Amino acid sequence: MTASRCATRVSYNDKHNEANGEDNRDGTDNNRSRNCGVEGETDDAEIPALRRRQAANLMATLCFSNGVPMLTAGDERGRTQRGNNNAYGRDNEISRIDWRPDDAWLDVYEITKTALRIRRDHPALRQRHWFEGRPTIKGGPKDLIWLHPTGREMTGDDWHDDGLQCFGMVVSGDPLRSPGPRGEQLRDASFIIWLNASAHDVELTLPENNWVLAGEIVVSTDPGNATGTPVKAGSTLLREARSVIVMREVK
C-alpha cells in the first residue's frame, strides 16, 4: 500500500514533466488525481484548504490500512514536485525536500504522526491475517463489520448504491484473530473508522451492540468533531463532507 505523491494527487490532474527534457512524454499518464478545481498553484484560499484536508484523508486512510504503509518522503508535508511524476533526473528544487516549516502542510504532518503512533500502539490496526467477517471466538463480535451511516451493517445492495459515499468499518480488538509472537491470544481496543467521501455533510448513527458501549475520537479531519470528543453507542453525530474520523473504544 502506498500514498506516493499524496500532495501531488490533490494539486494536479495531469503530469508536468516538461523539465525532464522529453517533451512530457515520460512518466505515467494515469495520475489518479484531482486538483480540487485549479491545476497547481492558486491564490484561492479555499482550494489549498480542501487539498490539505484531502491529503490528510489519504494519509489517515493509508495509516489505518492493513499491510505496510509506504509514504513517499515529503508526502506528509505537502511536497508536490510541481506535478512532476518522474523526477528521477532532477537534482534541484523539484525533487528535493524542503524541511523548513514555512510552507509545509503541518496539519497533515500532525495527523500523519498521530495515526502512525496509534497504529504502532494498537495491534488491532496492524494485524497479519486477513479479516474474515466472522467472530474470532464463539459468541463474540465479528472481526470486521462494514457500517451503513444509519448504524446497521452494510448489505450487498448497499455496495451497489452509487449515492452512498459514506460508510464505516468496525475493527474488533477483543480478541484479535492474529496471535501474539508466542501464539498467545491478543486483546486490544476496538475501533470504528468512518469515511465520508461525499461533498455533503452526513448524519451518522453509532451502532448499538453488546461489545463496545463508549469511545472517543482519536483522529479527525472533520473540524466539527475534534480529537478527544467522547462518543456513545446509539448516539448520532454530523459528519462534514470529505472527512475521516477514527474512534477508539474506551472501557
| Residue 73 confidence (pLDDT) above 90 | no
Which residue type does 112 have?
T
How far CA 172 is from CA of 111, 120, 137, 181, in Å, comes to: 23, 16, 12, 19
DSSP codes of every residue in 55-113: HHHHHHHHHTSSS--B--TTGGGT--GGG-S-GGG--STTTS----SSS--HHHHHHHH
Grid coordinates representing 168 are 464505516
CB 132 within 8 A of CB 176: no
Query: How far is it, in rounded angstroms, from Cα 132 to Cα 76?
Result: 32
pLDDT at 1: 46
User: Which one, of 15, 105, 21, lies nearest residue 57 by Cα?
Assistant: 105
The pLDDT tens digits of the residues spanning 104-161 come to 999 999 999 999 999 999 999 998 889 999 999 898 999 999 999 999 999 999 999 9
Query: How far is it, in rounded angstroms, from Cα 250 to Cα 216?
Result: 7
CB 233 within 8 A of CB 206: yes
- What structural domains does the chain harbor? 6-120 (no CATH), 126-249 (2.60.40.1180)
CB 66 within 8 A of CB 126: yes
Confidence of residue 6 (pLDDT cuts 50, 70, 90): confident
The pLDDT tens digits of the residues spanning 9-42 come to 899 999 999 999 999 999 999 988 999 999 999 9
Confidence of residue 3 (pLDDT cuts 50, 70, 90): low
Residues paired with 239 in a beta bridge? 202
Longest dimension (CA), the chain: 63
Report, as an integer, the average pLDDT of 214-218: 97
Q: Which one has a higher pLDDT value, 189 or 7?
A: 189
User: Which one, of 67, 71, 65, 55, lies nearest residue 111 by Cα?
Assistant: 55
Q: Which one has a higher pLDDT value, 203 or 101?
A: 203
pLDDT at 50: 95
Residues paired with 248 in a beta bridge? 191, 216
Report, as an integer, the average pLDDT of 63-69: 90
| Residue 8 confidence (pLDDT) above 70 | yes
Query: How far is it, in rounded angstroms, from Cα 249 to Cα 217?
Result: 9
Report, as an integer, the average pLDDT of 231-245: 96
User: Which one, of 107, 79, 105, 90, lies nearest residue 8 by Cα?
Assistant: 79
| Residue 4 confidence (pLDDT) above 70 | no
| Residue 197 confidence (pLDDT) above 80 | yes
User: Which one, of 29, 31, 25, lies nearest residue 80 by Cα?
Assistant: 31
Averaged pLDDT of the chain: 93
